Amino acid sequence: MNPISMDGAETRRSRPSRRGPRWAPMLLRRVIQIVALALVVGTLSFAMARSLPGDVATRIAAGRYGYDLVSQAAADQVRAELALDRAWPLALLDWWRQTATLDLGESLVTGEPVWHELTSHLGATLTLTGAALALGLLLGVPLGMLSAQRPGGLLDRLLTAATLLVRAMPPFLIAVLLMMAMAVHLGMLPVAGAHQRDGWLLPSLTLALPLAAGIARVTAQALRSAMALPSHHFARTKGLSDRQALIRHAARHAGLPLLAYVGVQAVVLAEGAVVVESLFAWPGIGHALVHAVFGRDVPMIQGAALCMGVLFIVFNLIVDSLQLMLDPRRSHGEVR
């Protein structure tokens, strides 16, 4: 055998593959982020709950028995039962120890394990977030594609104005407007309630409309940039129609910026879910967090806030993984 060929083959075999190791640092970063998040969110939640005005024992007793049945004796009983007079550094250290063993403690109001309480709310939040994301893509991507084909046209100008308007409106205002229009005046959908057949639609639309407006603008801009590439013009010279070249070539280039934007907007969905779930009585993590704050249920506050933060990190991990798979430059380490 030719020695040069053997040397070349040995060099290729000994050359380290850069495809595999790209995943390990990304996973390690996310794990470190989750650990840091647990410490920061738990500590801030603990400090926030301790700094709120009012007697903690009275609030917890009200959450257990109702405000009409709360007495000083009931508050004193709760204070002694939960050792609420214990020094806060000891209570915080105890929570850190429990979190290190994946034990979030028990709810001060219901007495149920926090993990059990969060599990019952997590499915509702994931359902609402997934529906909002699907509606945002279904509304935003087609509008962006139509706008990209006619830059400066009527649809493009209307889309720009609608994007500025919807993105500037807070989620609670969008929720109230949808309630008034779709539920009160038209009677098409229930105002609130997770047990209604179409109860998911109004809260999902509340989260989806700002997301769809942003997706439409990002899609339009990304498609225009892709349509200016030489590869797109070459596809047109091969006889492809505008629609065929748009779908087969430009859409592939526009997928990565759109995916990155959707990943960033996950935090918007997480923030909006706290308000939207409370307005529509949707039994998700945000709804549980609000009730825990009112009831001074510190373990539930810490667990719910931690769960929302972990969801955001996991969602970003999924987006990063999809970008590694879709962009060969990132998977081979060419893009830093």
Distance separating alpha carbons of residues 66 and 81, to the nearest angstrom: 18
pLDDT band at 58 (very low <50, low <70, confident <90, very high): confident
More confident residue, 64 or 158: 158
Distance separating alpha carbons of residues 152 and 174, to the nearest angstrom: 28
3-state secondary structure at position 52: coil
pLDDT band at 3 (very low <50, low <70, confident <90, very high): very low
In sequence order, what are the residues at sequence separation of 6 or more whose Cβ sits closer than 8 angstroms to the Cβ of residue 219?
A: 140, 141, 143, 144, 145, 147, 148, 254, 258
pLDDT at residue 331 is higher than 50: no
Instruction: For 94-119, write each residue's pLDDT tens digit.
Output: 777 877 777 777 887 888 888 888 88
Closest CA to 221 of 268, 163, 266, 166: 163
Report the first-to-last Cα separation within the chain, whole angstroms.
Answer: 40
Is the domain covering 114-330 a CATH 1.10.3720.10 domain? yes
3-state secondary structure at position 106: strand
Instruction: For 246-270, write each residue's pLDDT tens digit.
Output: 666 666 677 777 877 887 776 667 6
**Residue 245, both tokens:** 């070249």
Question: Domain segments of the chain: what residues?
Answer: 114-330
> What is the pLDDT, as a whole number, of residue 7?
47
For the chain, give the mean pLDDT. Answer: 75
pLDDT at residue 229 is higher than 70: no
- pTM exceeds 0.85, yes or no: no
Contact 78, 64 (CB under 8 A): yes
Q: What percent of the chain has pLDDT over 70?
A: 78
DSSP H helices in 101-183: 114-149, 154-168, 171-178
